[in-house]
Amino acid sequence: MIDLSEEPVEENIKTTADYLKRAAPMKQWLEMEIGITGGEEDGVNNESVDNASLYTQPEDIHNIYKTLMPISPYFSIAAGFGNVHGVYKPGNVKLHPELLSKHQQYVAEKEGIKDDKKPVFLVFHGGSGSGKQEYLDAIQHGVCKVNLDTDMQYAYTEGIRDYMIKNKDYVSSQVGNPDGADKPNKKFYDPRVWVREGEKTMTKRVAVALEDFNSANKL
């Protein structure tokens, strides 16, 4: 994954092409981002960007495609269609997955690709908090990967939070709990125990996502 979405489009494409040339001999996949995904991630705050910046233009998608395709077919594009990082109150985020279909049609027309094929592998950044139909609409228009980082962070935290609340009297000190003042608590505060609880709840969230994407039990 290379994210140069805040750089000028020309520089973004050129640098991505340079990296793809290095990855091509190994048939290594490269994901790039064009356009701005709103919200906040890793200290980068795009909550106040102009709304128009959240929507990638089909001309940009085609420029990427025609530049990268001669180098290697192993690339995908994270295009902006109103998506944002993080989770917000329902109704505050308006996705337009139909724009992804226009990107596919534009590239197919410019490249003379027939048979209703979707020539571009697209990525859905900022997928956390979206509804099942929004996922399916995006997938229908060529999305092959959905990022759910915020949902996964919360799912992981849920298991640990619930464990700590349930066992609060056993993790408040190394020795001493409701079973006795001299009882050791190591088996309760051992990170291998409570980290596992986070892994369990995150695994359940992954299973829900696979069902939402109609990709459960499929390769």
Q: Is 3 annotated as a binding residue?
A: yes
Asked if residue 128 belongs to a known ligand binding site, the reply is: yes
Q: Is 126 annotated as a binding residue?
A: yes
Q: Is 86 annotated as a binding residue?
A: yes
The residues facing 122 across adjacent strands are 77, 143
Distance CA 40, CA 30 (A): 23
122 is in an annotated binding site: no
Containing 77, the helix (H) or strand (E) segment is: strand 75-79
| 39 in a labelled binding site | no
Is residue 45 annotated as involved in ligand binding?
A: no
51 marked ligand binding residue: no
- Annotation-wise, does 148 bind a ligand? yes
DSSP labels, 147-196:
--HHHHHHHHHHHHHHHHHHTGGGSSSSEEETTEEEEE-HHHH-HHHHHH
Q: Per the annotation, does 33 bind a ligand?
A: yes
Q: Is 150 annotated as a binding residue?
A: yes
CA angle 174, 180, 184 (to 5 degrees): 30
Distance CA 170, CA 177 (A): 5
Residue 82 annotated in ligand binding: no
Q: Residues forming the annotated binding site for Zn(2+)?
A: 3, 33, 85, 125
Q: Residues forming the annotated binding site?
A: 3, 33, 85-86, 125-128, 147-150
Q: Residues forming the annotated binding site for dihydroxyacetone phosphate?
A: 86, 126-128, 147-150
